[in-house]
């Protein structure tokens, strides 16, 4: 998609370009390949926001990995977290004794990942790491949440694109941009 497409008019600015994303995701894939040498981790995609990042990341990892998918809700269509996390779709396979890498779109307050980490550890994963495309460290509420792999730290702004949505839209933008507040402040 060209970045003069109509959807881009709803952005205040582009924060991370598709080229920057591609470079970082490749680097992260290579790092995970080194860190997990000789192992077969299961990568868990947190739907829907992480789906674009996930499909690029798994192709940058040269390991006999497996994939699973989980859908949770934390936001609805608002732009602020509610702190309420619900599992909408659970994993298909048990993770007992597995090396798990949770792949998430963005860590904001940390409430969602903290909850997920707890339930996945209870299920007996032998190790658990978190890979996030974006991190908003300024907004963290769960101070001791360890995010093992992060592609980009970003400022406190509501972003869309590369899987991230506002009201289910903009996920297919190839770049990541700050959504113009006029879009979500409409009456
Ligand atoms: P947390 O529980 O860390 O506060 O929120 C994590 C979830 O909130 C993310 O998985 C994502 O769905 C949503 N979220 C947080 N910040 C943003 C943002 O800037 N843009 C979008 N589209 N979603 C966000």
31 lies in a domain? yes
CA distance 32 to 61: 7
Burial of residue 67 (number of CB atoms within 10 Å: 0-12, 13-18, 19+): middle
**Residues carrying an active site annotation:** 108
pLDDT of residue 75: 53
Give the confidence band of 3 by pLDDT, cuts at 50, 70, 90. Answer: confident
138 lies in a domain? yes
CA distances to 12, 82, 83 from 76, in Å: 22, 9, 11
CA distance 163 to 175: 10
Number of domains in the chain: 1
pLDDT of residue 93: 97
More confident residue, 175 or 144: 175
Give the confidence band of 4 by pLDDT, cuts at 50, 70, 90. Answer: confident
102 lies in a domain? yes
Q: Which residue's CA is the nearest one to ligand 1's atom 20? A: 159
169 lies in a domain? no
Alpha carbon dihedral 142, 106, 77, 174, in 10-degree steps, equals: 170
CA distance 102 to 119: 12
pLDDT of residue 151: 98
126 lies in a domain? yes
CA distance 29 to 18: 16
Q: Indicate the average pLDDT of the chain.
A: 93
Q: Which residue's CA is the nearest one to ligand 1's atom 19? A: 158
| pLDDT exceeds cutoff 60 at 79 | no
- Tell me the CATH number at 113: 3.40.50.2020
168-172 contacts: CB < 8 A, separation 24 or more?
168/77, 169/7, 170/7, 170/10, 171/48, 171/49, 171/51, 171/52, 172/1, 172/52
118 lies in a domain? yes
Query: Of the residues 46, 70, 75, which should be mutated to test ligand 1's pocket, given the most ligand atoms within 8 Å of the CB?
Result: 75
The residue range of the domain holding 126 is 19-156
Distance 38 CA to ligand 1 centre (A): 33
| pLDDT exceeds cutoff 70 at 123 | yes
Share of the chain above pLDDT 90, in %: 81
65 lies in a domain? yes
Among the listed ranges 42-56, 73-87, 132-146, 167-181, which one has the minimum average pLDDT value? 73-87
Q: What is the CA radius of gyration of the chain?
A: 16
- Give this prediction's pTM: 0.94
94 lies in a domain? yes
Mean pLDDT of 117-122: 92
């Amino acid at each position: 998609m060209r970045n003069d497409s109509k959807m881009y008019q709803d952005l205040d600015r582009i924060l991370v370009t598709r080229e920057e994303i591609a470079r970082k995701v490749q680097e992260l894939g290579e790092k995970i390949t080194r860190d997990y040498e000789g192992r077969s981790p299961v990568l868990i995609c947190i739907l829907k926001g992480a789906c674009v990042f996930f499909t690029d990341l798994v192709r940058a990892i040269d390991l006999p990995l497996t994939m699973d998918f989980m859908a949770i809700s934390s936001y609805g269509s608002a732009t602020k977290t509610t702190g309420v996390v619900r599992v909408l779709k659970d994993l298909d396979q048990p993770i007992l004794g597995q090396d798990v890498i949770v792949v998430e779109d963005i860590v904001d307050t940390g409430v969602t990942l903290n909850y997920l980490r707890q339930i996945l550890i209870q299920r007996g994963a032998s190790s658990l790491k978190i890979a996030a495309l974006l991190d908003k460290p300024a907004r963290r509420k769960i101070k001791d949440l360890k995010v093992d792999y992060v592609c980009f730290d970003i400022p406190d702004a509501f972003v869309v694109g590369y899987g991230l949505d506002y009201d289910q839209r903009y996920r297919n933008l190839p770049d990541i941009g700050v959504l113009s507040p006029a879009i979500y402040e409409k009456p």
